[in-house]
Structure 1
């Protein structure tokens, strides 16, 4: 389709050049083919012709004909539109098939592509107050960008205090997003990040359970006691070995 129309254009350009209408020593003719798609399944083909880096005419399948952009394009368009377009390989069936084949390849790479998201939930302190926190739901590495993230507290959806970043492009055809919830946790509270995405048969839910201050204090006390005990043990072993060496030296 394109080779026939391009050959015809080259013949016309050479003829114009011979007539003195175009005189550059070097002639560069380029063709750009564009397909536009609609949701109802129709395709529109645009073929743009560039001569010495300047577009001079284009073919539009929607208007079904050649259209001039410059004076040079007008001279050629008059000739082309007098021809039978089928002689140039331009038929509606070929135009439709050319765009449809390109669309099927594009669809297999993008439209039908599905990548499951990864979800991580972690707390982050906000400001100086020990009782105001942000709970962060970090959703990463998903495609397409159509995603819904909701927060639940003890099974009830939370809508107040929810803050979200814009969709972030990773540069590898995947996305990430952070959805944060302002919270004032109490012992036993269960916060849930609920993620829905086209790649999932069922939503991903990740829980975060609030611990009481007493439980955290006991845990820290226990860890501190363990570390202190190990320190005393190490010192005791060192002193015991040193005393044995002193006793051996006195003999």
Structure 2
């Protein structure tokens, strides 16, 4: 029989799986090519501080019986399961095993609760996805990345008023590493001097986090200016180099290095 030890206790856990498997084996002796299994579940509510253990015996797609730690009894769902339940309740077999399994459930609840208390603040970015042209509205995207836990709320505000129309949001998308991301889109016609903000409400902050959109220079225009400045600088450098080359070529003046200048020797007569 498999035995495990719960950290922090001296009690040894003995699972009833082997006992129930022996019972299931009696069914396999008479009925072949069918599937039976025992399901053990721990139900924990962190908000209500409750733990419940249930395990059931299933065979041939039917649930024969189920034990519930809250009611502390076994209930049968078939004629054969009712006979099992009567025997289990009379001899207190599952009740004794259930108390031992509950210790595992309580330990599991502590681990889940400790993880649930951790929060990670989202990284929020507002960017322009589309500029307004004629009758077409501009589109802003507010994105929140790498946050935990999952519940989060994104809203848009325009001049300190909540915008409900022309707003669409994705659901919380799992990154695959316990963190999540979400994206909210706002369609609008820009107005001079307005203030647009993305408000993020999450468990990682005790108050709403407000991020303002800076419409002074759209991202596309900023990229164009940077590329233009780089091109202008390269043009100035090339033009200056060409001008220097042109001047030297037409004046005929070249300054030779000192090592290439002729050396004049002086003899003894000239010294006298």
Please list the CA deviations of residues 1-38 of structure 1 after superposition, one character each: whole Å capped at 9, or x if unmatched: 86264465466678x59xxx8379xxx99654212235
Please list the CA deviations of residues 51-78 of structure 1 after superposition, one character each: whole Å capped at 9, or x if unmatched: 8999754422244333446777566445
Q: What is the alpha-carbon root mean square deviation over aligned residues?
A: 4.2
**Distance between the aligned counterparts of 1:223 and 1:10, measured in 2?**
73
Q: Aligned ranges for residues 201-216 of structure 1 at < 5 Å? A: 201-211=206-216
Query: Aligned residue for 2:187?
Result: 182
Equivalent of residue 37 in structure 1, options 38, 44, 47: 44
Q: Which has the higher contact order (CA 8 A, sep 6+)?
A: 1
What's the secondary structure of 2:197's corresponding residue?
strand
1:234 and 2:238 matched: yes
Note the residue ranges of structure 1 that are not aligned, 5 or more in a row.
none
> Cα distance 1:231–1:130, how it changes in 2: closer, same or farther (>3 A)?
farther
Equivalent of residue 146 in structure 2, options 141, 144, 157: 141
Query: Aligned residue for 2:7?
Result: none
Q: Which moved more, 1:42-51 or 1:194-203?
A: 42-51
Query: Aligned residue for 2:69?
Result: 61
Equivalent of residue 110 in structure 2, options 104, 109, 115: 104
> Cα distance 1:4–1:87, how it changes in 2: closer, same or farther (>3 A)?
farther
Equivalent of residue 164 in structure 1, options 156, 160, 169: 169
**Distance between the aligned counterparts of 2:217 and 2:111, measured in 1?**
56
**Distance between the aligned counterparts of 2:15 and 2:169, measured in 1?**
54
Q: How far off its partner does 1:165 sit?
A: 1.6
Q: How far off its partner does 1:83 sit?
A: 0.8
Higher-Rg structure is 2
Q: How many residue pairs were aligned?
A: 236
Note the residue ranges of structure 2 that are not aligned, 5 or more in a row.
1-11, 255-272
Q: Aligned ranges for residues 107-146 of structure 1 at < 5 Å? A: 107-109=113-115, 111-125=116-130, 129=134, 132-146=137-151
- Output the TM-score relative to the length of structure 1: 0.70
**Distance between the aligned counterparts of 1:11 and 1:44, measured in 2?**
25
Query: Aligned residue for 2:14?
Result: 3
Q: Assess if the C-alpha contact under 8 Å between 1:12 and 1:76 holds in 2.
A: no
1:22 and 2:26 matched: no
- Output the TM-score relative to the length of structure 2: 0.65
> Cα distance 1:22–1:69, how it changes in 2: closer, same or farther (>3 A)?
farther
**Distance between the aligned counterparts of 2:180 and 2:160, measured in 1?**
28
